[in-house]
Structure 1
Amino acid sequence: MPDVFNSRSPNDAARRWVVCLCADWCGTCRDYRPVFDQVAAEHPGTSFIWLDIEDEAQAALVGELDIETFPTLLIADGARLRFAGPLLPHAGTLSRLLGALDKDSAVVTAADPALNALVQTLHQQISSG
């Protein structure tokens, strides 16, 4: 399982989780890690997952999903994808996005089957603790 922050019990699997898809070789990702951790500390009701897609064990979760821009974030409420895409690596940007998602109940339908598969896989991992 990837690096998980703010871990919850499996009963809370329907709640929000944020995944940062990154690569260790990416300087922007390395710089973003403390910012991501800071936002995680400010949102204790949300699971934050740092997933290095080039780490052999974690890459298996990503499957065929092609990440073109780092960092790329996935945000879901349980198994419902709410956001998927690159995001400026600033704490304020992520915090504003989370706030906007709190106010909007829209669910994203991903056209990429690999993205849908990743969301379902991560939801199952989070649900199983």
Structure 2
Amino acid sequence: MSTALLDPWTDAAAIAMRLNAPSARLTLIIGATGWCETCRTLKPVFESLAAEHDGRNDTWLWLDLEDHAEFLDDFIPDSLPLLVSYRGAQLTHALVPGRITVSALTDLLAQAPRIEQAELPDIRARLMAVDWAT
């Protein structure tokens, strides 16, 4: 399956360039596919959603706690998987999705902002940092 997911280790410059657009949208999941069954179930659903909504202004990332621990500064969410979304510089969503289907995630992202994870590193700012992308 072709995927629109980008990775901060290999796609840093492309991610930073995309996020500089004023209308940029960033949607990501923080998960752990090695030991979280829900994360393993969600990943192909999230990849499908990313492929459907891929575009210049949309950036989709899957950040695995094990593979991206250094990038996340060892941040561990209260619960997994954690859905995080930004519209421009504004954090709009930080929550654990209740249902794992493409339509449920699409509906969730279309809803009013909902932040249920209070402590969250500024992932967007990290992705846009000049030293990160070079």
TM-score by length of 2: 0.69
Deviation at 1:12, TM superposition (A): 4.8
Matched, 1:10 2:11: no
* Structure 2 counterparts to residues 39-78 of structure 1, below 5 A: 39-45=49-55, 46-55=58-67, 58-78=68-88
* Alpha-carbon distance in structure 2 between the residues aligned to 1:44 and 1:85: 22
> CA deviation digits over 1:29-58, x for unaligned, max 9?
111111001111121232110000122xx1
Of 91, 94, 118, which residue of structure 1 is paired with 2:105?
Answer: 94
Deviation at 1:8, TM superposition (A): 6.3
* Higher normalized helix content (fraction of residues): 1
Q: 1:37 to 1:60 in 2, by over 3 A?
A: same
Superposition CA RMSD, Å: 3.0
For structure 1, the residue ranges without an aligned partner over 5 or more in a row are none
> Structure 1 runs of 4+ off > 6 angstroms?
none
Seq. identity, %? 29
Q: How many residues align?
A: 117
* Alpha-carbon distance in structure 1 between the residues aligned to 2:63 and 2:88: 17
TM-score by length of 1: 0.71
Q: Is the 8 A contact 1:20 1:74 kept in 2?
A: yes
For structure 2, the residue ranges without an aligned partner over 5 or more in a row are 1-7
